[in-house]
Amino acid sequence: MGVIRHVVCAMSGGVDSSVAALLLKRMGYNVSGVFMKNWDSLDEKGVCTSDKDCEDASRSCQVLGIPFHQVSYVKEYWNEVFSNLLNEYEKGRTPNPDILCNKYIKFKHFCNYALNTLDADAMATGHYARTSQNDEEVFRQKNVAPPTSLFKDRFEVRQPVRLHQGADHFKDQTFFLSQISQDALRHTMFPLAGLTKDFVKKMAAEAGLHHVLVKKESMGICFIGERNFEDFILEYLEPQPGNLVSVEDGTIMGRHRGWFTLTLGQRARIGGQKDPWFVVDKNVDTGEVFVGPTTNHPALFRDTLQTGRFHWITVDPPPVLVKTQMMDCHFRFIHQMPLTPCTVTLNMDGSVWITLSQPIRAITPGQFAVLYSGGECLGSGRIMRLGPSQHTLQLGRERMAAASLDGPRPGPPDQAS
């Protein structure tokens, strides 16, 4: 009889992680469930649902007959995710805490806890994603010693593990996994890889996991809950009032309580206006937030952007990009938005320029540019700079056209001697 493998499954208290644990048990593994507490409800004024989620995770483990553990990463979350989030907002950017939480908490601290403290052969989550490894290849990674040198052994041949979209393309969550390390990916199983959300719900019902079926799908930033974002962020950052300025003619349309309370593309609350206005740009130096009169204003559309240093899932950039410094693939910066064809240019500092096949609305600094090729998630980079908007380009064309119409002014006529 073979060795029974020990798999630690991250339990969120939802249907996906509960069914992931169910599938692992049915595959004959020795399964443990662990709930992570990342936010301390005592530190906030609103209602936090983490206690209820913990109860639901514990109940799922009870129904499945597997051990249940709790682990707190409140301190780590504050230092590595939330402090980063506040810093980004102060700089005028809009961060994505879900991607950072996966990178630093679930696929770093939790992964270490599962493999080293609980002595698991692998960790598992309820994400809709898959890798290029089968289960046995994941288990073999446990016995591979980590590198002792800071430098890669050039004689070592180790095939990188790739991250692929799950079978349910609508629920696919590789977007949120686009910053995780190669080492963590090697030790991770995704039991829901080949399943659709509807089938997962059906399995939960048949297994008696009714308590997770009635829960709402978790949306938005977990620690904010049902509260207004502006009120929440102003509990942590000092108000920085400034003007709401029309991008069209410079008219002051109203006031705001801080540029960090607003993000590109959202509706701006301006009194006395018949039609809604939308945030199209920010100037952190002056505190001005620029607004436009329609949801699809040209100032919201851009087709070029630059990231910070790009995180490649396979560690190294794709060979074609290294060889030619350019590559065609697909882009998204919001989960579930349609993939857009793009051309990527690799810079010497590891950042990339991305040129899109068509302008996209409200590309936002601080969000992550996630790249895909043929169903594979290549990785992501934080958006740091934007190219000119369609509005700026149109103004430039109009100025050039006006200058050409004026033409050169005629000089004085030649005088006969």
Q: Which residues are catalytic?
A: 101, 222
Distances in Å between the Cα of 5 and the Cα atoms of 28, 117, 134, 148, 149 are 8, 16, 14, 26, 30
Q: Could you give the CA distance from residue 107 to residue 303 in angstroms, rounded to a whole number? A: 32
d(CA 88, CA 285): 15
Q: Is 30 exposed, middle or buried (0-12, 13-18, 19+ CB in 10 A)?
A: middle
Q: Do strands 376-386 and 301-307 pair parallel, antiparallel, or not at all (unpaired)?
A: antiparallel
Q: Which residues, 6 or more positions from 367, have their beta carbon under 8 angstroms from its beta carbon?
A: 94, 95, 96, 333, 334, 382, 383
Q: What is the CA radius of gyration of the chain?
A: 25
| CA angle 309–312–314, rounded 5-degree value | 150
Question: How is residue 232 written in tokens?
Answer: 């929440």
Yes or no: say if 282 and 290 are a contact pair by the CB < 8 Å rule: yes
Q: How far apart (Å, rounded) are the C-alpha atoms in residues 50 and 224?
A: 11
Residues in the chain: 417
> Encoding tokens for residue 6?
């020990």
Transcribe 176-215 into DSSP letters: GGTT--HHHHHTEE-TTTT--HHHHHHHHHHTT-HHHHTS
User: What per-residue string of b and e applies to 105-118 under the rule 16 or more CB within 10 Å gives b?
Assistant: bbbbbbbebbbeeb
